[in-house]
Chain A
């Protein structure tokens, strides 16, 4: 340990120090500005509580759907070889780099009242909680897929080969061998996906709108509150920060490798 530390160049320390400052300064400034005295009062308004409830429902559902659908997708990308796999991977990961507003506009074309979905079913997903969950899922699933695909890829497939030579069927092999081996990556990916879903703003406001108690999540409430009452916006921001930090710290200790 000591030796490793003494080898770290000064320049690296310097870079790391500046990085910590850049990340920490806005958070510290936020904590200084927050009206602590009236915090509970500001957070217990009907609007704030509604936003908290919608945020928790939407982000947890988005993370759950990301796991249920993303793990099979990651497995396919890691273990199967088929033409167009590179293109598929690009499609899966493009929401990572696309501005969320663009994702929201694309969602309108696909699932809006005037979009494909609307023409098929006569109604769209905008202004519904399902729409907010869809927007959050699309922007957060790539985090899970990337994390889990790496884990599936780094396993060399020998365990799976062994299982199938013992007469275990492919589905059972996937469920009993591949998934448990990739579990730390699945948990890490699920946490990342959840965190991204919790912070989601652009796709949600563009696609799902800002309906109180239905699609208005905490980030949307922060932006709205910022127009009316800066104190409430700050209080909501600190709430969002507290939830995120609590979950990231709790899970880091329990599930993620903390070398």
Chain B
């Protein structure tokens, strides 16, 4: 009884917007949430952050999302067609970079070590699993750049923030994350750019429907805010590229 009273009451008044988003968007969406809620009194942006594929599955199984912002647009292909309400809105782009713990002493022929030199030096590497957006981007990079050396120990994580943590705590010698994740850990990690082969990902937001019409219109307003000049600035400040 109390469940019936508690949960839908909030959303049927259209005050709660459930936003499911990839873990690489954690910081920028937390800032956006704060800004948006302070502007729109009574509106509660509720973030569900995690691996984009896991979230996509939760939505497919009937999870109560109003807005979905995966780490890469490709994840949307897995959603049942009936659940995507309207065209995706382009919000930002991201790119894959290599990171090493700050202060790593990597032998290098030039001034800055190249990814190949890092992999030659590193005894251990953390990367995302194939199937999650950052893992697919990692696979694309490996395929594009042939003849990469492979560190002896490779730990495979289910989301990009787990990779970041492993490098940040200096438990592995190198990792592959989005450039925005590297920015979050500035000071703890150093970035080794992947150069022209470095894969990009595109971040889009979609309305998830059609279960909750009120939530949908509120969700649309939040997405419009993210795509506005102010929203774009938040993404830019967090290190994302413009769509």
Contacts of A124 in B (CB 8 A): 171
Q: Does B93 contact A (CB under 8 A)?
A: no
Q: Does B63 contact A (CB under 8 A)?
A: no
Contacts of A112 in B (CB 8 A): 169, 171
Interface of B, secondary structure class, is mixed
Q: What are 6 A-B pairs at a CB distance below 8 A?
A: A113-B170, A114-B169, A124-B171, A127-B124, A210-B155, A224-B156
Chain A interface size, under 10 / 10 to 19 / 20 to 34 / 35 or more: 10 to 19
Bound CA span A117–B53, Å: 36
Q: Please determine whether A212 and B129 come into contact, CB atoms closer than 8 angstroms.
A: no
Q: Which residues of A contact B (CB under 8 A)?
A: 108, 112-114, 124, 126-127, 205, 209-212, 214-216, 223-224, 227-228
Known: A127-B153, A211-B153. A224 touches B129 (CB 8 A): yes
Bound CA span A211–B157, Å: 9
Bound CA span A217–B53, Å: 22
Known: A224-B156, A224-B158, A227-B51. A127 touches B172 (CB 8 A): yes
B155-183 vs A, CB cutoff 8 Å, 1 = contact: the mask equals 11110001000100111100000000000
A209-B126, A228-B130 are known contacts; what are 16 more A-B pairs with Cβ within 8 Å?
A108-B169, A108-B171, A113-B170, A114-B169, A114-B171, A127-B124, A127-B153, A127-B155, A209-B157, A209-B166, A211-B155, A215-B155, A223-B158, A224-B156, A227-B53, A227-B54
Bound CA span A250–B158, Å: 35
Q: Does B80 contact A (CB under 8 A)?
A: no
The residue from A114, A127, A227 contacting B170, defined by CB atoms under 8 A apart:
A114
Bound CA span A126–B171, Å: 7
Q: Please determine whether B154 and A212 come into contact, CB atoms closer than 8 angstroms.
A: yes
Bound CA span A227–B158, Å: 8
Q: Please determine whether B131 and A228 come into contact, CB atoms closer than 8 angstroms.
A: yes
